Structure 1
Amino acid sequence: MTFELPSLPYAANALQPYIAEETFGFHYGKHHQAYVTNLNGLVAGTDLASKSLEEIIQATAGAPDKAGIFNNAAQVWNHTFYWNSMKPAGGGAPTGAIAALIETAFGGYAGFAEAFKAAAVGQFGAGWAWLILDAGGLKIVKTGNADTPIAYGQTPLLTIDVWEHAYYLDYQNRRPDYVQTFLDHLLNWDFANANLAAA
């Protein structure tokens, strides 16, 4: 199959003033598109060409000779998941079924927000912070570069991209401000609940 850049779940200017349309121009239009283009080139003519994105990620995870394929496949998947982890007028305390799990795992929203921000800000260099479902409970994990929880059989519920290209035009080196803005104004609990229901 040929992979394509998926449509954004909202207009490129819908998250302003928190994430600028210009940021989407580079991050979605150039970075995400490049991962899609690279992946198509890398799998063409191989036994992976007919696989789904998730199957490619799982087949190449931890294989040094397939690192290029894994990195591009995982980045296509991670970015698509990230766009959906945000929404206009998002953020704040959880709603729906996930609220009770947040209470159990973190003692409430404040505990979740503190732990999530610590993971996102504390990820050295490029990477991601995730809220995942693992063994029936919620956990916060961070991954470096292109790494992704689906390579380990975990179920992501939402993520934040902390590669510098995700926030530098808007926040420069102020990653903590970007993460706090994500928590306060962008986080999509509806998406997290949908992922939880599908798990």
Structure 2
Amino acid sequence: MESNVSEAVLEAGRALDIPEAVTRAFVRRLRPCVHLCPYGSLPEELKKDARPAARALGPVHLPEGAEAPLHLPHLMTIDCAAIPAGSLDIAFPADGHLVVFGSVTNGAACGVIHVPAGTETVERQPDKKRMDPYETYHDPFPLYAVPGTTTEPGAQAGGGRKSRSLASGSAGGCGPSRGTGCRLRQHRAPDARSP
């Protein structure tokens, strides 16, 4: 985590008389992230040089024959090269596209496919027979990358009890959070050298 963010949080904790142990525990849960925002939501200083980093909604473009969860709506396609380098603390592809599928009515249903740079794609139609009837088609719109900070999933759930036990020194460390169950699939272009 950037030291200026950590220091700002620690300073705010001191100003609010929050026990140092609680504030440091919170700082340990901070993670770098990239917010994907519509142009109108960008900070003014980023608008001049802004370039789209993702396309939300609309038709999905995938390699011909790629296995995809077409029963789920296309949420967005992220241009990996447009995400600022070093802005995430996870393994993130440097190029290509991440195609994200998911249901807004069933948050547990999702899928992500990485399409390597230079891979030919075609527009694919959703499997409307298997889609949730409440999912509707919307026109696509661009999203722009804004590096930021967030907390781990679940960092605020039960925060009061955890904060009290941290302040008293009786709480142990925090374990890893559970994910949503989304799987990343890697699309591999056919290799001419393979039989």
TM-score scaled by length of structure 2: 0.23
Query: Greater strand share, 1 or 2?
Result: 2
Query: Greater helix share, 1 or 2?
Result: 1
Structure whose CA Rg is larger? 2
Flag the structure with more relative contact order, 1 or 2, with Cα contacts below 8 A and sequence separation at least 6: 2
